[in-house]
Structure 1
Amino acid sequence: MEKYILPIKKGVPVFFVFAFGYFLSTLLRATTAILSPVFTSEFNLQAGDLGLLAGGYFLGFGLMQIPLGYLLDKHGPKKIVSSFLIIAIVGVTSFALAKNFTGLVISRILIGVGVSACLMGPLTGYRIWFADNYQQRLNSWMLMIGSLGYLSSTLPIQLLLPIFGWRWIFGGLAFLTIICMLLIFLNIPSWENRGTEKIYEKKENLGSLSEVWKNKFFRSLIPIGIFNYGGMFAILTLWAGPWMIRVSGYSPLESATGLFWIHVTMLVAFFLWGYILPKLSNYGLSTIKLLKLGLPASLLVLFIIILLGPQAGAFHWGIYILSTIFLSLTQPAVALAFPTHLAGKAFTSFNLVLFIGIFTVQWGIGLIIDLVQTLGFSEIVGFQISFFIFLISSIFSYIYFILCNNKSS
């Protein structure tokens, strides 16, 4: 597929409209971390239930990634993202009206399905509409917007909670999702204007999903995507909050404030990261080399947090999340490893890996915490054991990546 570079007057609105969609996606994703005490109290949830509730979003999200790749490559981001947001609107509305735990989980799955194209759709479009040397910058700046969504899910939600209640907050999010859908419909270019003939009329031009999954580099990233990257998001969007409350002894407001500053740090970091990445490439620092050198820092920080236990708070989790910034290189690296007609399938395949990891780690940590407590240990020990198992899995994933790319730099 040929590239069709947008002029700046069209490119800037395209970025900001898509950024608004991804902002809402991450805001909806992360609300469970702040609202976990409310849901735990109102619906009498255990740690495993909380993990399942948060993971429901990622289950719905992950289930759509493979079909989403085909849909994006064929129909483009405008049609697919706006259509999927209709499902998100239904999910957010039903979540606001849910009367029991089952209703919450089903609604979270629908939300996950509905916003599943809010990052992969834009990245697929960027692959065609923006030059290759801007791909990593665009990816980092989209993640910066995602950090703004996470940030908005912390202290702002906590402050709005006693005023409006969580149900009206979700009602407001449903309204914003409707606005986003309309903006996409009005501002995003049609896929027919991508500067290429109708290559999809011939089946052989569609590209095969097996081309992605058989790729050596892609397969080397699967364990990292599941445990290191997926686990980081599992902590960021759920377990950092409960750790601060149940292990470190924070109040809900203190936990929300801690998460707020963690996300402020990430927002600034992603902005600067997007700016300096092209310069690092000019110095010969490839994605593989940066991952090899950078990932061990996050593993060391996580080990220190586990050892500190109750002494580890928002500052330590902020350092951990910041040290995982190298993982953001994986998505643009996957896309650039394939031709443009496979961009959607490459992005969504790796996203499937990522969200399988988030769901598995998010739910798994909760189940292990409950299991350890049933064996007579304290909740704090349960947190430490579950996070230690996650750490070991991340270490082996990193070793696998090194072995698969030992001749690459």
Structure 2
Amino acid sequence: MHHPLPRGAAIVVFFSFACAYFLSALIRAVTATLSPLLTQEFALQARDLGLLAGGYFLGFAATQLPLGTWLDRHGPRKVILCFLAVAVLGCVAFSVATSFTALMAARVLCGVGVSACLMAPLTGFRRWLTPQAQLRANSWMLMTGSLGMVASTLPVQLLLPWVGWRPLFWGLAALTVLAMGLIAWRVPVWSRASVAADGEAEVAPGYAEVWRHPYFRRMVPIGFCSYGGMVAMQTLWAGPWMVRVAGYSPAEAATGLFAINLCMLCTFWAWGLLTPRLFARGWTVNRLITHGLPVSLGVMALIILLGEQAGAWAWALFCVTSTFVSLAQPAVAMAFPPALAGRALSAYNLVVFAGVFVVQWGIGLGVDLFGGLGWSSSASFRAAMGVFLLCSVLSYAYFRLAKSHNATRVPTP
């Protein structure tokens, strides 16, 4: 059962959540721009950098299961406000850190704090918006995240000489407090009456119903490898590749990351416009992923093949062609009743961000491992990306083969 908000109220609610998600994406992606400074100041190796960036996702992933239950029970408004308070503490802790351990702990706190910034609105949208509006809102929320990532590149690079990276995190803490005020003011309180009307009492507690759902299982490997891999490249490894393989300066790499994230912003904006029309013509999520995901696999193979010649344009193309898999998230939510939406979304998000953590850290370990064998920086990066590509191909193969034994009827908008 849906309880759609009036158009004006829906826009205001979307904007309130979008402000918080913008900041969460900025906090998430800023380590790519700061990586040269942090590497120099704290003498970090590639595996340390991968672990530091992945620490955010470790904290993020650790909260997903309780988060889903809390969202279904208490609603998006109350849950996101509690979590954002932790994000404020994380930003302050990062700004005063004096060791790698302190940096890592602060990043985990940041990850925990912003872990509700996408799941909370998507859970609300499942109840407050129609199916086609959910797909559009999902794409445009991701567009807002891309805007945050754009802000984390050139704007941050330009600010650093003036304010330094520590005061930058004080500012992020203050902006997060303002976003909390907006959400508290404009987002509706979760109505227990509407929860009951949606059959909350009939849904078993916990995640068993989510984990055993055939459609959910079908989407797990591509969520882990392809979606997680896209985020891992966009938020970390595209930057070091441009510096250590393609020979970019830190400023040129920041410009490249700016271009990549700008492309992602435009892509998610286009998805928001196109998905209702595509679905009206019979292009379901499964069909789009089936035809679109192989393109990103081909682009990754091209990046590995080109090596030093694969710069920002190649990574932009990889990230853009990987966005097909982002459509899986609202599709998974719509495969479940609204009373299970928070758990379904959070469980899938756990899969995605566990993938981000594994890919980010795994590539760092791979680069160090191949480098320790005497390989050049370029060859080490290419070999590590080759392992990632193999895993992505296997996950896509499972997605295609699983359809025969996943015949459960899944609603398609």
TM-score of the superposed pair, with normalisation by structure 2 = 0.96
Unaligned runs of 5+ in 2: none
Distance in 2, matches of 1:370 and 1:37, equals: 17
1:3-402 superposed matches below 5 A: 3-192=2-191, 195-197=194-196, 202=201, 204-402=202-400
Residue 205 of structure 1 deviates from its aligned partner by 3.5
- CA deviations 1:16-41 (Å, max 9, x no partner) are 01001100111000011110000000
- After superposition, the Cα gap between the structure-2 partners of 1:188 and 1:308, relative to the gap in structure 1 and judged at 3 Å, is same
Distance change (3 Å), C-alpha of 1:48 and 1:194: farther
Give me the whole-angstrom Cα distance separating, in 1, the residues matched to 2:340 and 2:198. 12
**Bigger Cα displacement from structure 2, 206-215 vs 155-164:** 206-215
Distance 1:63 1:164 in 2: 33
**Aligned amino acid, residue 37 of structure 1:** P
Moved over 3 A (4+): 193-202, 204-208, 406-409
3-state DSSP class of the match of 1:195? helix
The 1:245–1:106 alpha-carbon spacing in structure 2 relative to 1, beyond 3 Å, is same
Query: Residues 115-173 of structure 1, C-alpha deviation per residue, up to 9 Å, x if partnerless?
Result: 00000000000111111221111100001001101100000000001110000111100
8 Å Cα contact 1:199-1:205 kept in structure 2: no
Give ranges in structure 1 of 5+ residues lacking alignment: none
Distance 2:318 2:89 in 1: 35
Q: Distance in 2 between matches of 1:182 and 1:363?
A: 35
Which is worse superposed, 14-23 or 215-224? Answer: 215-224
Q: Does structure 1 conserve the Cα–Cα contact (< 8 Å) formed by 2:198 and 2:338?
A: no
| Structure 1 pair 393–274 and aligned structure 2 pair: CA distance change class (3 A) | same
CA RMSD of aligned residues (A): 1.5
| 2:79 and 2:116 in contact (8 A); partners too | yes
* Amino acid aligned to 1:237: T
Q: Which amino acid counterpart does residue 336 of structure 2 have in structure 1?
A: F
The verdict on how the C-alpha distance between 1:105 and 1:200 changes in structure 2, with shifts beyond 3 A counting, is farther
Matched-pair contact (CA < 8 Å) for 1:368–1:382: yes
Cα drift, residue 364 of structure 1: 0.5
SS in 2 for 1:99: coil
Offset of 1:223 from its aligned partner? 1.0
Cα distance in 2 for partners of 1:196, 1:161 equals: 47
CA displacement 1:315-368 (0-9 Å, x = unmatched): 111111111121111100100111110000000000000010000000000011
Distance 1:199 1:309, change over 3 A: closer
Following TM superposition, by how much is the alpha carbon of 1:195 offset from its aligned partner in structure 2, in angstroms?
3.4
- Matched to 1:72, the amino acid is L
Q: Is the 8 A contact 1:4 1:194 kept in 2?
A: no
Amino acid in the other structure paired with 1:233: V
What CA distance in whole angstroms lies between the structure 1 residues aligned with 2:84 and 2:157?
25
Give, in whole Å, the separation in 2 of the partners of 1:258 and 1:193.
Answer: 48
> Are 1:200 and 1:206, in contact at CA under 8 Å, matched by a contact in 2?
no
Q: Distance in 1 between matches of 2:330 and 2:150?
A: 24
SS in 2 for 1:5: coil
**Cα distance, 1:260 vs structure 2:** 0.6
Match status 1:403 vs 2:412: no
Q: Secondary structure at the match of 1:170?
A: helix
Deviations 1:182-219 (A, max 9, x none): 111111100027734487884x4454411111011111
Tell me how far 1:266 sits from its aligned partner: 1.2
Code of the aligned partner of 1:216: P
Partners of 2:358 and 2:335 lie apart in 1 by 27
Does the CA contact (< 8 Å) of 1:94 and 1:107 recur in 2? yes
Indicate conservation of the 8 Å contact 1:207/1:342, yes or no: no
Paired amino acid for 1:81 = I
Counterpart Cα distance in 1 of 2:290 and 2:195: 38
How far apart are the structure 2 equivalents of 1:118 and 1:201?
23
TM-score when normalising by structure 1: 0.97
Query: What is the CA–CA distance in structure 2 between the aligned matches of 1:289 and 1:197, rounded to whole Å?
Result: 35
State whether residues 46 and 365 of structure 2, in contact with CA within 8 Å, keep that contact through their aligned partners in structure 1: yes
Decide whether the 8 Å contact of 1:74 with 1:200 is kept in 2: no
Q: Between Structure 1 and Structure 2, how many residues are aligned?
A: 407
Deviation at 1:9, TM superposition (A): 2.3
* Distance across 2 between alignment mates of 1:215 and 1:71: 21
| Letter aligned with residue 13 of structure 1 | V
